[in-house]
Structure 1
Amino acid sequence: MCSQLAQAQLQYDTPESVGLNSEYIQKKVDSIMQSGIKQHAFPGAQLLVAKQGKIIFHQAYGYHTYDSIQKVALDDIYDLASVTKVVGPLPALMKLYEQGKLNLDVPFSTYWKSWKHKKDKKDITLRELLAHQSGLQPYIVFLSDVLKNGKPKHRFIHSHPSKRFSLEAYKDIYVKNRFQRKMFRIIKRSKVSDKKVYNYSGLASLIYPKLIENITGEDYRTYLQNNFYKPLGCETLGYLPSLKSFKNAIVPTEYDSIFRKHLTKGWVHDENAALLGGVSGNAGLFGTALDLAKYMQMLLQKGVYDGHQFFKPATVEEFTRIQYPENDNRRGLGFDKPLIGNDTLSLKEAYPAPEVSPSSFGHSGFTGTFIWADPENDMVFIFLSNRVYPTRTHTNIYNLNIRPSLQQVFYQATIKN
């Protein structure tokens, strides 16, 4: 990667400028997107692809909802769901690792003291947690602790804010500030599997923001803004967008019939993140495709973007490499990776597209989001949708292989001489 590119910002250009056929791309992408909308994989979506530091494709399709009222715009803000894990706490953990304030291979309980006396957790390392190799269970539904017969328990949920109830989960829903401690206690008491095998778990991500605050002495959101989002020029990336005065439209997610009794828009879809007031390490970030592209381009460029060095190349390489291949665990540290042997699989079996390089990395989100960077092919791929609208039962985004199919287009679009 030339240093000149690392100094530059992403610029818009044509597919032809990087040796790709725009007519082929347009035809294929239009077909996949229109099929997705027609078969209710999502009401609308957008796609941004950058190659060699140039944004060669950025288009929006469909509408915010199936009533076809508001068209998807290129600067719409999306609920990023689990993409939060690698764009929120992860860069902070990478920075603290680089500064020698976190060691990946000492027990996590060195930094998270409450695990020190838990026999099944005291020796788990941060490396194991980030690579989903720790044995922690995948998920805990904390909503079941605040609801009784479908109604919120008054000791945890109030309809008006106060000193003790300042965590806003939604309009007129305020969670007790100390509920976070209850979550941490429940995680501490949760069972850990004896087997050290790959098992995706979001539990540690609920802890990371507090850990980051403990180590840095700074507010988690402020730390992210000052160290990453502002210097990257990410104008919308952050938590709690409904409390900010963005002119950009925010795309709705799911109609929540259980907790909030409304269409969730501008408030985090994930219930666990909502119970933390919308600020969590597992979900809660919102942003535009362009903001995500800047972040992923920085990682693609080994930690440098627009004249700023965010990480040393060795840090990016460590976090984006497979950690436990001997255990058939494809994961990096925080980052998702292609399936092992992905290039030998068909499009239907592969994750993501079979053509991505083994060095590529990214993450997906439950709401229908997906970000991926491929250093060997110098490509960034950002797909945003609200596939959970109006309910999460809509799974055609997976059944139709929408995201791998779209990704594959840009590997197969090389201009034939």
Structure 2
Amino acid sequence: MGRLRVRLGRIWALLREGVERGVFPGAVAAIFLPGSLYLSAAGWRALYSHREPNDTETLYDLASLTKPLATTLALMKLRAEGRISLSAPLKCFFPEEFFGNDTFREISLREVLSHGAGFPAWRPYFRKLQERPLRERREALVRLILSETQAYQPGERELYSDLGFFLLGEVIVRITRTPLERYVENVYGELGIPELLFRPLHKGIPRERIAPTEFLPSAGVFLRGEVHDENTRALGGVSGTAGLFGTARGVARLLSVFLEVWQGGKRGFLTRELLEEFWCFRRPGGTWALGFDRPSPTGSSAGPLFPRRALGHLGYTGCAFWLVPEEGWGAVLLTNRVHPSRENRRIRSFRPRFFSEVAIRMRRGTP
């Protein structure tokens, strides 16, 4: 392990290079394998109104990491308890009058989880939702999504989409009769992961511990502790698509639980068989598992060195993780690349370099 620690120095140097090149204000990375977790922070937590040094306990807006680490995890629990079937169509969960497009009535949870349900990638629903009282917005959002025109024939291709995961969040609420935020955080409690949560400002987390994201002109402030995703913010900060905040340590601890179970352990409701049901799915010609992405042969944020069976996900704010279950290791990269503006897209070329470097160092250092 000592030699591995030395080899990780190149990865930490890449974080500092990212700061110097303006890829992001700051970053925290975690490298993990059974029994070991390595963390490093670089740069600045915030740039405005003054520079704040970063550290490994910074909370980041995890954006779409919410999809695998919260929504998919909650569905795993419901599946383990026999409360859902992944073959169940959406018509089992929403009233008939919600379906402005009847085709979506027969779409299965499995198709939604694998981004093969026919939904468009994104819509600015927040513009319409803001005109309604907060208590009416969730139902209004579901109706809007289920009335969309199909982007493609369901099951014939994949298109990464926020829309389906908004629906999955509402499916969880309807099955459990519990707010999504409470249900997911109870799951984290069962698994012993306290560092992941929604709406951190409501939980007493000091603003100073949270990395700010983008400048909000309407309020004249930087978003800090409030979700960056506009549609989720219009819902009050919690959805199946976004809203999760956490530290690199917390993300790595949850992913380590997954790896422990994959290798034959058991933690709470998680079993190897359950992970196989979600992780081993693949549509012919596609890359998506259920709730998790895989490296693409045509180019991926994981770079060219991660095996095709690796699993991961990206977040719009600049977060990502990739793990290799068969080899028992993984990596997390958390940044706030959208601070001060989402127009900074340098991370697109940085991420493959970062994860390729991780793959090189870990394969040399894995016992």
Regarding TM over 0.5, the answer is: yes
Q: 2:222 aligns with which of 263, 267, 281?
A: 263
Distance 1:405 1:24 in 2: 16
CA distance in 1, matches of 2:332, 2:323: 9
Match of 2:120 in 1: 137
Alignment partner of 1:181 out of 139, 152, 156 = 139
| Alignment-mate amino acid for residue 200 of structure 1 | Y
Q: Residues 232, 373 of structure 1: CA spacing in aligned structure 2 closer, same or farther, 3 A cutoff? A: same
Indicate how the Cα distance of structure 1 residues 364 and 103 shifts in structure 2: closer, same or farther if over 3 A, else same.
same
Contact 1:302 1:312 in 2 (8 A): yes
Q: Is the 1:357–1:376 Cα contact (8 Å) retained in structure 2?
A: no
Q: In 2, are the aligned partners of 1:357 and 1:377 still within 8 Å (CA)? A: no
User: Is 1:37–1:44's contact at 8 Å kept on the other side of the alignment?
Assistant: yes
Residue 208 in 1 paired to residue 158 in 2? no
Question: Does the 8 Å CA contact 1:322/1:330 hold for their aligned counterparts?
Answer: no
1:2-401 equivalent positions in 2, closer than 5 A:
14-16=1-3, 20=4, 22-26=5-9, 28-55=10-37, 57-66=38-47, 69-114=51-96, 118-145=101-128, 155-156=131-132, 176-195=134-153, 196-226=156-186, 228-246=187-205, 249-257=209-217, 259-302=218-261, 308-324=267-283, 326=284, 328-339=285-296, 341=297, 349-398=299-348, 401=349
Question: Following TM superposition, by how much is the alpha carbon of 1:179 offset from its aligned partner in structure 2, in angstroms?
Answer: 1.8
Distance 2:365 2:139 in 1: 57
Q: Tell me, yes or no, if the aligned pair for 2:33 and 2:256 is still in contact at 8 Å.
A: no
Amino acid corresponding to residue 66 of structure 2 in structure 1: T
| Residue 314 of structure 1, CA deviation | 1.1
Q: Give the match's secondary structure for 1:302.
A: helix
1:362 offset after TM fit, Å? 1.7
Q: Cα deviation per residue 1:1-52 (whole Å; 9 max; x = unaligned)?
A: xxxxxxxxxxxxx453xxx3x33321x2244223211221101001110123
Aligned equivalents of 2:71, 2:39: Cα separation in 1: 27
With over 3 angstroms needed to count, the CA separation of the structure-2 counterparts of 1:304 and 1:109, relative to structure 1, is farther
Query: CA contact under 8 A between 1:51 and 1:379: conserved in structure 2?
Result: yes
**Residues in 2 aligned to 1:410 and 1:141: alpha-carbon distance in whole angstroms:** 36
Q: Output the CA distance in 1 between the equivalents of 2:226 and 2:365.
A: 43
CA distance in 1, matches of 2:12, 2:340: 23
> TM-score of the superposition, structure 2-length normalised?
0.90
Question: Distance in 1 between the 2:308 and 2:245 partners?
Answer: 28
Matched, 1:405 2:363: no
CA shift for structure 1 position 216: 1.7
Ranges in structure 1 where 5+ consecutive residues have no aligned partner: 1-13, 147-152, 157-164, 166-175, 343-348
Q: Is the 8 A contact 1:373 1:379 kept in 2?
A: yes
| Superposed CA offset, 1:306-357 (max 9, x none) | 9733312111011112420x2x210000111111x47xxxxxx444132223
Residue matched to 1:6? none
Name the SS of the counterpart of 1:222 in structure 2. Answer: helix
Residue 134 (structure 1) shift: 1.1
- Structure number with larger C-alpha Rg: 1
Distance 1:272 1:180, change over 3 A: same
Post-superposition Cα deviations, 1:141-199, rounded to whole Å, max 9, x if no partner, equal 013225xxxxxx7x53xxxxxxxx5xxxxxxxxxx211222211111211113432111
1:159 counterpart residue number: none
Please tell me whether the aligned partners of residues 90 and 106 of structure 2 are also in contact (alpha carbons under 8 angstroms): yes
Pair 1:15–1:358, CA change in 2 (3 A): farther
- Once the 2 structures are TM-superposed, how far is the Cα of residue 139 of structure 1 from its aligned partner? 0.8
The one-letter amino acid of 1:43's match is P
- Residue type of the partner of 2:288? R
SS of residue in 2 equivalent to 1:45: strand
Structure whose residues are more often helix by fraction: 2
Partner Cα separation in structure 1 for residue 172 and residue 140 of structure 2: 19
Aligned residue for 2:307, secondary structure, equals coil
Whether the 8 Å contact between 1:237 and 1:286 is mirrored in structure 2 is yes
**Aligned with 1:372: secondary structure?**
strand
Q: How many pairs are equivalent?
A: 359
Contact 2:80-2:274 at 8 Å conserved across structures: yes
* TM, length-normalised to structure 1: 0.80
2:303/2:356 contact within 8 Å kept: yes
Amino acid at match of 1:334: G
TM-superposed CA distance for 1:291, in Å, is 1.0
CA contact (8 A) 2:195 2:249 kept: no
Structure 2 portions without partners, runs of 5+: none
Identity %: 28
Does the 8 A contact of 2:166 with 2:239 survive in 1?
yes
